[in-house]
């Protein structure tokens, strides 16, 4: 056979292999597109939906600036204005900023780490639909004239039913909680995917910097969002059921809401900033054609920023009466966070100084970011000084600072990233001329709008006022700000036009058009659903600079995991530290279950809004049934792992190990769950020590029964631990029977908790004390019941052969839930039984 015949045969084999990959990984069309779980499609859906909400938020901003352009102008009535500014902040913070950055990460992360998909594809799809439906429910309130109007921060008591009757605030509480499910699910997905699905050889110290930023951001979401979810649940329980968590007269405290909100709110500022900074750290080396200066220092700065951000929440509460020692501590911490941020900024500047930057359109946005964000950071340090904060708190100075930080730290890098990755999305290059016009209009308009707003605040204009009188010195600054906002809107329109036109008229993008160094540019443009025909080994932080031919060798199938005739979607499962391959993770395919589950969750949200509680119970049960059906097809089930054998010499499938991705998913989910519980515990001790009307009634809570319940759970957990130990050693006997008995123990323990709640004589609508105890006991009851159901499910799966010696890892996943429940129940016992007995009270 001559060389031409050999190359022709190789091309035929490659085409056949790609066809087989397309059959297994391909996305359906029409209505069945709702079943797609592939990360590329889900990420693009997040980006498109986020862009839509950005335009909605921008339109609301234009209404605000039009209203404030002239003194005494009455475009909107005060009530409508309150709705508009509340929805502007809500849409931009909750429906645009975080979901947009998560969507970009969902699209990019598997490609950057050399994986074929995220580790829980169906969870990504569920998260997107929750985001879409939650956002639409919240947005519908505008057209129903029922939009929330208590501010995007929903401070109590203004947002309580006494001061904001109707369902306006309920739209916010239920809609935002629905959206937060999406955020937390994406956080769990990204953390586990980064730690467990990197391609062979990509150790932690070889990860692209963008991946480091997303890992820290995702961990912050997992820990930082649950306090707001808890606060929203408690406030909705107060509004709908009369439980007085924030009512001073009945033992609550409205400042508790501020603590819960800003426990989420201040980390969210960095959750928004860090992905933007990750884009900057990715693009600057590309446009300077040299590695970033100080890789290890930047990683340390990112980790430190994420850690410190959780100690700054009182920064927003200096004027509410915080003790002087606390204000001094949080003021110092607020200034301290500038140090790791400064490390990153100096690394970027040093790279620009040592390199030869090329000022293409993405680079213009990066320069704009450096100017705007540094200015916003400096005013942030000013606000960290308590005396200065007292002077400008709740003025337009704070509005200006917030926009300089959030728009500078998020929108500018995002625009740079969109122009940089547009060829990846579409396979076409955008217009350089329109891109430059869009940048300059946006940059000039933004600074005209918000730079002068610092002065407006310094001369006393409060935020959130719907109009103002003439002669206060605010007329000209407001008019200039409003003119600037229209210039900025023209910039957004130009950018949007450029993006739309480039899909039709853009020049075809060459391979790796920017000569980038990261693996996402090793895919085809636009990428296939499986990203890589073969998964490469990575031995360098800059794989495409080290081996420019790597994309071609990947496409020719010269690397690993190219067998597809078994019909499974597969990617590597790697060691979290070293990146060495440990197993093959088989990924679920397209499914209706995420969409159906999100529809039932939306029905639950709508039924609660309409006080249709019977329907809400039905929707809850339907959701649980769908989720149980979902979990049934996991692990070694034939639908999840057809032909569960691997090739000779290959690692085992993850369902044949004790350390599959479900174990990590459960661990990170319980971390989020623990953050929610600790927020509830914080509320208990906060009200106990601060609330002036806190009362400890003689509730009759049976401490001995709760102790017996905890001891029973301890015995069951110890039994399960020994069972798992024998399963690992291969010496177990009667696995199904033992799991069934353990399920009965968990059910009996749940029954004891239910009896405790029913016989305790709690009055959760009369005192905050009893309301917190009621929620804490309900929390324990729900989790113990869940453990009973999942353990019983494991026993059933053992009987069908889905769990056993050859597929052992599922019981290990459930074991984590038992340990978590054990810890939470003992802590609850100490908090609501031992603590009152020690410090006084019945």
Alpha carbons 301 and 649: distance in angstroms, whole number: 41
Q: Are strands 581-587 and 569-574 parallel, antiparallel or unpaired?
A: antiparallel
**Cis before residue 351, ω within 30 degrees of 0?**
no
CA pair distance 270, 268, nearest whole angstrom: 5
220 within 8 A of 309, measured Cβ to Cβ: yes
Task: Break the chain down into helix, strand, coil percent, rounded to 5.
Answer: 70, 5, 25
Between CA 759 and CA 775 the distance in angstroms is 15
How far apart, in whole angstroms, are the C-alpha atoms of residue 88 and residue 203?
42
Asked whether 622 and 630 are in contact (CB, 8 A), the reply is no
Distances (CA, A) of 153 to 144, 204, 595: 21, 37, 30
DSSP 26: P
Chain length of the chain: 842
Can you list the residues of the chain whose pLDDT is less than 50? 1-9, 841-842
Q: Hey, what are 128's tokens?
A: 């997107």
d(CA 616, CA 388): 48
The residues near 122 (Cβ < 8 Å, ≥ 6 apart) are: 37, 588, 591, 593, 594, 630
Answer whether 189's CB lies under 8 Å from 95's CB: no
Q: Torsion over CA of 425, 221, 160 and 774, rounded to 10 degrees?
A: 130
- Determine the pLDDT at residue 836: 86
Which residue, 625, 632, 818, is CA-closest to 739?
818
Full set of structural domains in the chain with CATH: 360-514 (no CATH), 695-842 (1.20.120.80)
* DSSP symbols for 525-577: SSPPTTS-SSBPP--SSSHHHH-TTHHHHHHTT-SB----TT--EEEEEE-TT
115: left (phi over 0), alpha (psi -120 to 50) or beta: beta
- For 206, residues 6+ apart whose C-beta sits below 8 A from its C-beta are 538, 539, 540, 541, 579
pLDDT above 90: percentage of residues in the chain: 83
Q: Are 554 and 534 in contact (CB under 8 A)?
A: yes
**Do residues 810 and 794 lie in contact, with contact meaning Cβ atoms separated by under 8 Å?**
yes
Q: Which candidate, 816, 761, 753, 758, places its Cα nearest to that of 779?
A: 753
Instruction: Note whether 818 and 717 are within 8 A (CB).
Output: yes
Token pair in block for residue 174: 């239920």
Strand bridging mode 569-574 / 507-508: unpaired
Which residue from 594, 619, 627, 669 is spatially nearest to 132, judged by alpha carbons?
Answer: 594
User: Are 728 and 776 contacting, i.e. CB atoms less than 8 angstroms apart?
Assistant: no
Retrieve residue 118's tokens.
Answer: 């995220």
Q: 758: which residues sit within 8 A by CB, 6+ positions away?
A: none
Amino acid 316: pLDDT:
82
Cis preceding linkage at 526, omega within 30: yes
List, in order, residues 6 or more apart from 401 with CB less than 8 Å away.
376, 379, 380, 383, 454
Rounded Cα–Cα distance for residues 91 and 655 (Å): 41
Distance CA 503, CA 507 (A): 9
Tell me the torsion sign for CA atoms 237, 240, 246, 249.
Answer: negative
Is residue 401 within 8 Å of 333, Cβ to Cβ?
no
In angstroms, the CA 602 to CA 265 distance is 25
Q: What pLDDT is recorded for position 638?
A: 67
Angle at alpha carbon of residue 622, lines to 618 and 624, rounded to 5°:
120
Helix (H, G, I), strand (E, B) or coil at 384: helix
Adjacent-strand bridge partners of 535: 560
3-state secondary structure 675-725: HHHHHHHHHHHHHHHHCCCCCCCCCCCCHHHHHHHHHHHHHHHHHHHHHHH
- Spell out where 347-468 has E strands: 428-429
Find out whether 92 and 135 touch, Cβ atoms under 8 Å: no
pLDDT at residue number 288: 97
SS3 534: coil
Tell how far CA 823 is from the center of its chain. Answer: 26
Q: Three-state DSSP class for 572?
A: strand
| C-beta separation of 406 from 272 below 8 A | yes
Residues 579/203, Cβ–Cβ less than 8 Å: yes
Distance of CA 698 to the CA centre of its chain: 42
């Amino acid at each position: 056979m001559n060389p031409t015949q050999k190359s022709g045969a190789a091309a035929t084999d490659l085409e056949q292999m790609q066809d087989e990959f397309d059959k297994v990984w391909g996305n359906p069309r029409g209505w069945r597109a709702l079943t797609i779980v592939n990360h590329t499609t889900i990420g693009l859906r997040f980006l498109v939906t986020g862009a839509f909400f950005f335009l909605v938020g921008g339109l609301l901003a234009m209404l605000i600036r039009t209203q404030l352009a002239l003194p005494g102008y009455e475009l909107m009535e005060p009530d409508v204005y309150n709705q508009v500014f509340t929805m502007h902040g809500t849409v931009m913070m909750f429906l645009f900023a975080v979901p947009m950055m998560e969507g970009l990460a969902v699209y990019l992360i598997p490609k950057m780490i050399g994986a074929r998909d995220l580790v829980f594809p169906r969870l990504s799809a569920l998260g997107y639909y929750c985001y879409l439906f939650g956002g639409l429910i919240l947005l519908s309130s505008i057209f129903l004239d029922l939009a929330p109007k208590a501010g995007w921060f929903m401070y109590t008591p203004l947002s309580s039913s006494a001061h904001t009757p109707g369902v306006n605030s309920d739209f916010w509480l239920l809609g935002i909680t629905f959206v937060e499910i999406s955020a937390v699910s994406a956080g769990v997905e990204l953390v586990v995917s980064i730690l467990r699905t990197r391609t062979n050889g990509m150790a932690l110290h070889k990860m692209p910097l963008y991946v480091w930023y997303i890992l820290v951001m995702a961990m912050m979401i997992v820990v930082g969002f649950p306090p707001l979810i808890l606060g929203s649940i408690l406030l909705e329980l107060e509004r709908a059921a009369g439980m007085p968590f924030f009512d001073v007269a009945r033992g609550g405290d409205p400042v508790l809401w501020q603590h819960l909100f800003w426990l989420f709110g201040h980390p969210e500022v960095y959750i928004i900033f860090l992905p933007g900074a990750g884009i900057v750290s990715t693009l600057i080396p590309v446009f300077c054609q040299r590695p970033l200066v100080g890789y290890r220092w930047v990683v340390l700065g990112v980790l430190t920023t994420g850690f410190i951000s959780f100690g700054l929440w009182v920064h927003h509460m200096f004027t509410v009466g915080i003790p002087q020692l606390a204000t001094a501590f949080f003021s110092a911490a607020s200034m301290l966070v500038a140090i790791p941020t400064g490390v990153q900024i100096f690394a970027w500047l040093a790279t620009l100084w040592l390199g030869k930057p090329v000022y293409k359109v993405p680079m213009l946005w990066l320069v704009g970011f450096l100017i705007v964000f540094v200015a916003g950071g400096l005013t942030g340090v000013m606000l960290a000084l308590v005396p200065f904060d007292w002077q400008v708190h709740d003025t337009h100075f704070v509005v200006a600072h917030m926009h300089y930080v959030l728009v500078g730290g998020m929108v500018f890098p995002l625009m740079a990233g969109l122009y940089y990755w547009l060829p990846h999305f579409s396979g076409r290059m955008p217009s350089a001329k329109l891109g430059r016009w869009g940048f300059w209009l946006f940059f000039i308009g933004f600074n005209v709008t918000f730079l002068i707003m610092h002065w407006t605040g310094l001369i006393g204009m409060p935020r959130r006022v719907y109009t103002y009188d003439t002669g206060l010195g605010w007329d000209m600054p407001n008019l200039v700000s409003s003119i600037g906002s229209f210039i900025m809107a023209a910039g957004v329109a130009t950018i949007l036009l450029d993006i739309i036109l480039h899909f039709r008229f853009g020049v075809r993008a060459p391979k790796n058009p920017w000569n980038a160094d990261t693996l996402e540019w090793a895919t085809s443009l636009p990428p296939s659903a499986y990203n890589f025909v073969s998964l490469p080994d990575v031995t360098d932080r800059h794989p495409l600079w080290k081996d420019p031919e790597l994309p071609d060798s990947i496409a020719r199938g010269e690397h690993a995991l190219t067998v597809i005739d078994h019909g499974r979607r597969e990617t590597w499962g790697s060691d979290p530290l070293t990146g060495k391959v440990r197993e093959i993770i088989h990924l679920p395919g397209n499914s209706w279950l995420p969409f159906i589950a999100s529809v039932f969750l939306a029905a639950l949200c709508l039924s609660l809004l309409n006080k249709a509680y019977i329907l809400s119970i039905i929707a809850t049960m339907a959701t649980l049934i769908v989720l149980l059906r979902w979990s049934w097809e996991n692990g070694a089930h034939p639908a999840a792992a057809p032909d569960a054998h691997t090739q000779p010499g290959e690692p085992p499938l993850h369902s044949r190990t004790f350390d599959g991705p479900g174990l990590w998913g459960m661990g990170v989910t319980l971390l989020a769950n623990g953050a929610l519980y600790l927020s509830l515990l914080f509320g208990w001790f906060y009200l106990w020590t601060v609330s002036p009307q806190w009362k400890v009634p003689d509730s009759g809570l049976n401490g001995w029964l709760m102790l017996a319940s905890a001891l029973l759970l301890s015995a069951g957990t110890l039994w399960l631990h020994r069972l798992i130990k024998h399963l690992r050693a291969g010496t177990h006997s009667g696995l199904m029977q033992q799991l069934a008995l353990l399920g009965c123990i968990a059910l009996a323990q749940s029954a004891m908790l239910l009896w405790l709640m029913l016989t305790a004589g709690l009055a959760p609508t009369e005192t905050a004390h009893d309301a917190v105890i009621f929620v804490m006991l309900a929390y324990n009851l729900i989790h113990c019941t869940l453990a009973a159901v999942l353990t019983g499910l494991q026993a059933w799966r053992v009987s069908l052969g889905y769990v056993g010696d050859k597929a052992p890892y599922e019981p290990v996943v459930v074991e984590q839930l038992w340990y978590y429940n054990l810890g939470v129940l003992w802590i609850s016992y100490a908090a609501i039984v031992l603590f009152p007995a020690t410090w006084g009270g019945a």
